């Protein structure tokens, strides 16, 4: 069972990491459009639509990835003090009452939107020569399906936690830098940092 859970975690992670590269493309595109608009006096009417669709794609495809890392916003001020079984019980109720129906509706409606968009060869009507919209709308049911699968994984995790009294493990991913561990790795002591601070502060005080 744990192997299946971690496999779906990995799929969500790979999808999120793959589409995260759109941030790089979006950054270059915005930079080029600003340069083209204000320096070359050659704006592109379709640029705003494409930027919006790229950002929307990143936002939707990051949902399952964030859920797999337990990174969505919650009221940790109270939740963090609860024992694991109480946390699992609350999560399970919320997943069943709100998450599953909402995400299922997203995937179902998204499929209809995408099918209709492909059928009419839909393009953006904000400009005369708008970009195609159907690739973007196709992302909606795909993101919904991956998010739904990840939600089912989280429901299983809640049930395991209720039974065992502890949360099962998750797949590893990038973590925040542990400063103390980093200092151990490079053999830097607090005394060394204090000496460096003194060397920097002393010349500044002499100038005053």
pLDDT tens profile 137-172:
999 999 999 999 999 999 999 999 999 988 888 766
Go through 36-54 and write b for each residue having 16 or more CB atoms within 10 A of its CB, e for each that does not.
eeeeeeeeeebbebbeebb
pLDDT tens profile 6-22:
888 899 999 999 999 99
pTM for this structure?
A: 0.78
Q: Is the pLDDT of residue 96 over 60?
A: yes
Q: Is the pLDDT of residue 174 over 80?
A: no
Q: Is the pLDDT of residue 173 over 80?
A: no
Q: Is the pLDDT of residue 76 over 80?
A: no
CA–CA separation, 169 and 87 (whole Å) = 15
pLDDT confidence of residue 54 = 94
Q: Is the pLDDT of residue 61 over 90?
A: yes
- Say if CB 60 and CB 140 are below 8 A apart: yes
pLDDT confidence of residue 102 = 95
Residue percentage of the chain with pLDDT more than 90: 58
């Amino acid at each position: 069972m744990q192997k299946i859970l971690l496999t779906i975690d990995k799929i969500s992670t790979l999808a999120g990491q793959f589409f995260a590269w759109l941030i790089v493309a979006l950054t270059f595109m915005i930079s080029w459009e600003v340069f083209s608009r204000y320096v070359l006096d050659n704006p592109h009417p379709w640029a705003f639509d494409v930027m919006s669709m790229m950002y929307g794609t990143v936002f939707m495809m990051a949902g399952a990835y964030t859920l797999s890392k337990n990174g969505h916003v919650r009221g940790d001020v109270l939740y963090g003090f609860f024992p694991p079984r109480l946390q699992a019980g609350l999560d399970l109720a919320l997943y069943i009452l709100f998450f599953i129906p909402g995400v299922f509706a997203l995937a179902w409606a998204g499929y209809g939107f995408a099918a209709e968009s492909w059928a009419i060869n839909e393009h953006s009507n904000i400009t005369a020569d708008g970009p195609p919209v159907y690739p973007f709308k196709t992302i909606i049911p795909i993101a919904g399906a991956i998010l739904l699968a990840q939600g089912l994984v989280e429901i299983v995790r809640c049930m395991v936690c209720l039974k065992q009294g502890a949360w099962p493990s998750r797949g590893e991913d990038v973590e925040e830098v542990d400063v103390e561990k980093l200092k151990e790795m490079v053999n830097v002591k607090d005394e060394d940092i204090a000496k460096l601070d003194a060397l920097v502060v002393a010349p500044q005080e002499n100038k005053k």
